[in-house]
Amino acid sequence: MNGTCELKTKVLNRTNESKVNNVEQETQNGQYYANSNVYSYESVVKIAQFLLDRVPFTPKIGIICGSGMGAYWNKGSLAEALQNPIKFPYEDIPNFPISTVEGHAGQLVFGYLSDVPVMCMQGRFHYYEGYPLWKCAMPVRVMKMIGVTHLIATNAAGGLNKTYKVGDIMIVKDHINMMGFAGNNPLQGPNEERFGPRFPPMNSAYNKQLIRKAKEIATAEGLGDLVHDGVYTCLGGPSFETVAELKMLGMLGCDAVGMSTVHEVITARHCNMTVFAFSLITNMCITDYDCKEEANHCEVLDVGKLREGDLKHFVSKVVEYMAQTM
Ligand SMILES: O=P(O)(O)O[C@@H]1C[C@H](O)[C@@H](CO)O1
Ligand SMILES: Nc1nc2[nH]cnc2c(=O)[nH]1
């Protein structure tokens, strides 16, 4: 899919960019650990309190918009669909990182979807932007402190499973924490028991009832042919994968490959949130050395735009169902 890339030039040099390196470094026992979670429990509470003081409702559902699904120019995107929105650009939230990637607007939006109060990360943080995993996933803890019990994590991903097509939706039934194989985990460092246990299980990370129901919803809404369930893996990026890497990931049982979500889900499960996640398949992974095509971010964003209506509708229905189960 090589259509017109609707990228707008985003000014990354925001005046508040210095905040990226200006996080309060309160740690357990007053010590600083080189690779620890420098957002103490108290500093996460402070961020949550800043937001709660400015929003007249407390959402129980949090949504993370993947590439293209939260673009600021994309007025039809999921994030832009919230009713009565209250928006917080990341640079206005004390101690918050900022988004630097095209297709990630960089704001928290509180509002209503299907008359259900939600909060939405319109733009997430990625490892390749220079943020450690714990920082990429920190907003999930802010959600938890605000009162969110259910997380919907969305992403753009390359399809490895040969039965998938560009534009399909893959509900994540499991992940392979590829970066974790090398010891890189958002929970690395001293554990804060008030968030969760030292050794959280991950064998039921993705809520089975929600997966089942979401598939029913997709079928009922005429999206059944687009929807699969599969295994997602996250690599560090920003380079896309080589043919050999993709062949290996396919052999390992990965159905889709991306650069996010896994560390957010680990962090969410650590603090006992219920998780639902899906990938928009924005490109098919190239596993043929003779193929002349190349993966590119424009295509990723274009497919996000192409599917924005379906995704909005699908997520609204999932939110509606979640709210009934709470
Ligand atoms: O934030 P997500 O995981 O949706 O973004 C994917 C991975 C890279 O950030 C980007 C590559 O085009 O899309
Ligand atoms: N790692 C990775 N991330 C993606 N995000 C969207 N497409 C891709 C892809 O092919 N590979």
ipTM of the complex: 0.98
Is 126 catalytic? The answer is yes
pLDDT recorded at residue 15: 33
The count of structural domains within the chain is 1
Task: State what percent of residues in the chain have pLDDT above 90.
Answer: 79
Contact present, 33 and 189 (Cβ < 8 Å): yes
Atom of ligand 1 nearest to the CA of 238: 8
CATH number for the domain that contains residue 117: 3.40.50.1580
Q: Which domain holds residue 206?
A: 3-325
Residues of the chain with pLDDT under 50: 1-35
pLDDT recorded at residue 16: 36
Is 270 catalytic? The answer is no
Residue among 257, 283, 300 to mutate when testing ligand 1 (max atoms within 8 A of CB): 300
Rounded-to-integer distance, Cα 155 and Cα 281, Å: 9
Show the tokens assigned to 4: 């017109």
Atom of ligand 1 nearest to the CA of 68: 4
Rounded-to-integer distance, Cα 319 and Cα 274, Å: 13
Beta pairing, strands 169-176 & 274-284: antiparallel
pTM recorded for the entire structure: 0.90
Each residue's pLDDT tens digit, 95-137? 999 888 877 789 999 999 999 999 999 999 999 999 999 999 9
pLDDT recorded at residue 97: 93
pLDDT recorded at residue 78: 81
pLDDT recorded at residue 123: 92
- Kindly report the protein residue whose alpha carbon is nearest to atom 5 of ligand 2: 157
Rounded-to-integer distance, Cα 96 and Cα 118, Å: 19
Residue among 178, 260, 278, 302 to mutate when testing ligand 1 (max atoms within 8 A of CB): 260
